[in-house]
Amino acid sequence: MNKKWSVKEQIHFFKRLGELLQAGYHIQEALLFLKMTDFLSKKTDWGEAISELKSGKHLFSILRDWRFESDLVIFVMIAEKHGNIGEALIKGSQFLEQLNSHKEKIKKMMVYPFVLLVISAGLFIITCIWLLPQFESMFSQSSVKSPWTLKFLLFFKNDLPDLSLWLLLISLLNVICYALITQWVSATKRHLFWSVIPIVGPIVKLYHSCFFSYQWSILLQKGLSYLECVAFMKEWEDKPFYQEMSIRMKQSLSKGESLSDTVREERIFLKELPHLIEHGQKNGRMEREFLSFSLICSETLEKKMLTFSKLIQPICFLCIGVVVVLLYVSVMFPVIQMLEGIK
């Protein structure tokens, strides 16, 4: 997340600027109004943006310099080149606000289970370090056989430092390997890798299908041809994946392949998208088909993320329950067995 502009500030800025533009303000007048009202305490940014706009710089380039979210930059880029920037700003803020709200819900749902998990892990470590050695000495001095739970936990306690070190080294190695691979591997391969992961994959495909369909619906509504849409995708510097895709799509379309076959070759999209394109080509309303499909994908994406967020707490509570039961058995079972031995 950008330290200077948080995601919520970006959403708020897009919404306010879009409302001013739709109310009849020129973009420089709107920024000057935001500067005078000290909106978000960004006076320095407003002055720089106004001077850069006067010198002929595009708004999307300014937002890119401010390290705004790539989705928002794409919305502005399309609007600046093909009109209706106020509506694009508002829709971009709504698009990002929806994604951000799901992320915030997931974070909030993970806080309480995470705290409980940390407390349970602390109790587990204290039990292994302080209580279990006392049970071990008591069983060694008596004729009662040590229970299997005590042996298991003592084995875990003795190997815990080495196990933790190995896990830390493996995790660090995985992070380093992933960082190196992301520099060598193309953006297409990275996205395809995430698309085949069981839980994450459907969400990734839904996101790309929604984003691609919505942006193409806007471009087709502006009267662009398929090749012009593909050429415009190549200008999306904030989306390396779509830049690489534009090269492949241009080659396929230049050979005479249909748009549906070209999209079908891109395995990052839902399998329904090529069939929808074929239907849109038959009725001549491709932009309408893309827009309707993007709305369906957006609703499905919201449901998927909500379902995913609902699964987090039960899984965390299950792990906590296992730790609590193991602690209870490890403490009570030796006590009961010793009492039976005394009898």
Condensed to tens digits (0 to 9), the pLDDT of residues 189-212 reads 888 888 888 878 888 898 899 889
Q: What is the total count of domains within the chain?
A: 1
Q: Is the pLDDT of residue 133 over 50?
A: yes
Residue 86: inside a domain, yes or no?
yes
Asked if the model's pLDDT at residue 17 lies above 70, the reply is yes
Q: What is the pLDDT of residue 234?
A: 85
Q: What is the DSSP letter of 147?
A: P
Q: Name the average pLDDT for the chain.
A: 78
pLDDT at 68 over 80: yes
Residue 35 forms part of a structural domain = yes
Does residue 203 fall inside a structural domain?
Answer: no
Residue 73 lies in a domain: yes
How does residue 2 score in pLDDT terms, banded at 50, 70 and 90?
A: very low
Are 213 and 273 contacting, i.e. CB atoms less than 8 angstroms apart? yes
- Find which of 74-83, 122-131, 132-141 is predicted with most confidence, using mean pLDDT: 74-83
Residue 147 domain-assigned? no
* Distance separating alpha carbons of residues 200 and 302, to the nearest angstrom: 14
| Triad 213, 303, 69: Cα angle to 5° | 55
Determine, yes or no, domain membership for 259. Answer: no
The more confidently predicted of residues 304 and 249 is 249
Question: What span, in angstroms and rounded, lies between the C-alpha atoms of 208 and 214?
Answer: 10
47/251 Cα distance (integer angstroms): 43
Q: Please check whether residue 18 is in contact with residue 89, taking contact to mean a CB–CB distance below 8 angstroms.
A: yes
> Among 10-14, 42-46, 100-104, whose mean pLDDT is lowest?
42-46
What is the phi/psi pair of residue 94, to 5°? -65, -40
C-alpha to C-alpha distance for 96 and 91, rounded to whole angstroms: 9
Which amino acid type is present at position 265? E
Query: Which tokens in the block code for residue 294?
Result: 């993007």
In sequence order, what are the residues at sequence separation of 6 or more whose Cβ sits closer than 8 angstroms to the Cβ of residue 93?
A: 10, 11, 12, 14, 15, 18, 72
Q: Which of 14-23, 149-158, 211-220 has the lowest mean pLDDT?
A: 149-158
pLDDT at 1: 34
pLDDT tens digits for range 318-339: 777 776 776 677 667 666 666 6
Range of 72's domain? 7-97
CB-CB neighbours of 239 under 10 Å: 19
Mean pLDDT confidence for 239-266 = 88
Half-sphere exposure (Cβ direction) of 195: Cα atoms closer than 13 Å: 17
> Residue 71 falls within a domain, yes or no?
yes
| One-letter identity of residue 79 | A
pLDDT for 158 equals 64
Is 164 exposed, middle or buried, given 0-12, 13-18 or 19+ CB atoms closer than 10 A? exposed
Share of the chain above pLDDT 70, in %: 77
Asked whether residue 207 is assigned to any structural domain, the reply reads no
Calpha distance 261→258 (Å, rounded): 5
